[in-house]
Amino acid sequence: MVSRPMSPLSPFAAGVETANIILTTRDARIATTPKDVVWTHRKTTLYRYRSSNRRHGVPILLVFALINRPAIFDLRPGHSFVEFLVGEGFDVYLLDWGVPGPEDADTGLDYYVCDALPWAMREVLRSSGGGSLSLAGWCIGGTLCAMHAGLVGRRSLARNLLLLTTPIDPTGSLYHTWVGRDSFDVDYICAHWDVIPGLGIDIANKLMKPVTNLWSTYRRLGQNVYDGQADRVAFTSMAKWIADNPPFPARAFREWVTWIYKENQLARGMLRLRGQRVDLRRIEQSMLVVTADRDHIVPPENSMPLLELAGTGDRTHLARPGGHIGLMAGSRAPQQIWPDVSDWLTRRSD
């Protein structure tokens, strides 16, 4: 602990500095690793990160959720999963779903799984010159990747599947309690809203741990400032990312809630996209499933069924301490999980 001279004004000064950190959150620099646009379609953009250090033949395509923005993969300089992968010699691509508007109300899960994702994979291979790639999905992004592999099977361009805190069977989760119940009328909501406001989803996420999210975070920041231990850059970059909530297209939201939370169709093998059955037993890619022990959004037991359901013989499970986001973007992630992920990918990328 850092000792510093104290005065009666110290608590006041710490309060002012804490307020300054919170008020300047919007100025934080996030997602700064240099990248180029490779392909765009509708609101979707495919980026490739610049590198002069590519050592592995199989490129990686990062796919994030439909909630929040993919900047979490590249949070801040010196603490970026993208920067780490580029440094390890991987050819890294990022799929950004963009910010949907009311005009995207009829965008369904089939667009993401059947169009945008395979088309982006095709563009990755055109750009990298390789024959196959590694798909790395986080949260809903992981579910979309699993759906793709379960739909296309061995015809997929993906060779490896990396799934981070991915919901497959949400039974027992808090979200299941909230939106899986009969009284949650998702059809009514989506009949009137073209997009589900990002603010609403953010409030719901924060209400899952109300004291921690709405009070303790700021109290701890103030305490760290008072103790002279506050990490301004770490706090503001994460706070900026958390506050950036794009809307969720109504049709995709209705399908997500109905198919996954109310009817559990994916885990039960009953999900169909454009008439084709999504069968997780068709997953033949090497598969790494990563779970976080304190994940309250996607508890480990929501991801684990995939280890049983997938047809691949090469499946690995990494269970690590952490929360839904902290697992991959927290202060301990560079030591606790990134090297293991890199090792797993390296063994399957040449």
Partner 1 sequence: MGEQPFGPWAPDMAGWWRGWLESFESEATTGLERVVAGDGFAELLVHLTENAVALTTINTDVWDTVLRNLRVAGRADIDRLARQLTTTEDKLERLLQTLESPVEEEPVRW
Nearer to partner 1, 77 or 197 (CB): 197
Q: Least distance in Å: CB of 152 to partner 1?
A: 7
Q: Least distance in Å: CB of 197 to partner 1?
A: 8
The answer for 269, left when phi > 0, alpha when psi is -120 to 50, beta otherwise, is: left
Nearer to partner 1, 7 or 52 (CB): 7
- Residue 182 appears among annotated catalytic residues: no
Q: Least distance in Å: CB of 335 to partner 1?
A: 27
Q: Least distance in Å: CB of 108 to partner 1?
A: 12
Nearer to partner 1, 129 or 275 (CB): 275
Nearer to partner 1, 224 or 336 (CB): 224
Q: Is 62 helix (H, G, I), strand (E, B) or coil?
A: strand
Q: Least distance in Å: CB of 27 to partner 1?
A: 29
Sign of the dihedral defined by the CA atoms of residues 307, 144, 348, 53, in that order: negative
Nearer to partner 1, 104 or 255 (CB): 104
Catalytic residue among 139, 145, 176, 190: 139
Nearer to partner 1, 106 or 308 (CB): 106
Q: Are 51 and 86 in contact (CB under 8 A)?
A: yes
- The partner residues of 292 in beta bridges, in order of sequence, read 320
Q: Are 295 and 175 in contact (CB under 8 A)?
A: no
Question: What is the number of alpha carbons within 13 Å of residue 253 lying toward its C-beta?
Answer: 27
Which residues lie below 8 Å from residue 225, measured CB to CB, with a gap of 6+? 14, 17, 18, 21
94/86 Cα distance (integer angstroms): 12
Q: Least distance in Å: CB of 55 to partner 1?
A: 29
325/323 Cα distance (integer angstroms): 6
Question: What is the number of alpha carbons within 13 Å of residue 54 lying toward its C-beta?
Answer: 17
Q: Are 80 and 220 in contact (CB under 8 A)?
A: no
Query: Which residues are near partner 1 by CB under 8 A?
Result: 1, 3-8, 10-11, 41-42, 101-106, 110, 114-115, 118-119, 122, 152, 155, 174, 177-178, 181, 183-185, 188-189, 192-194, 200, 204, 207-212, 215-216, 219, 223, 226-227, 273-276
Give residue for tokens 């090792």. Answer: 343
Catalytic residue among 56, 148, 176, 324: 324
- Residue 56 appears among annotated catalytic residues: no
Burial (0-12, 13-18, 19+ Cβ within 10 Å), 142: buried
- If we measure between CA atoms, which residue out of 196, 217, 207 comes closest to residue 174? 207
Which residues lie below 8 Å from residue 10, measured CB to CB, with a gap of 6+? 226
270/251 Cα distance (integer angstroms): 19
Catalytic machinery residues? 139, 295, 324
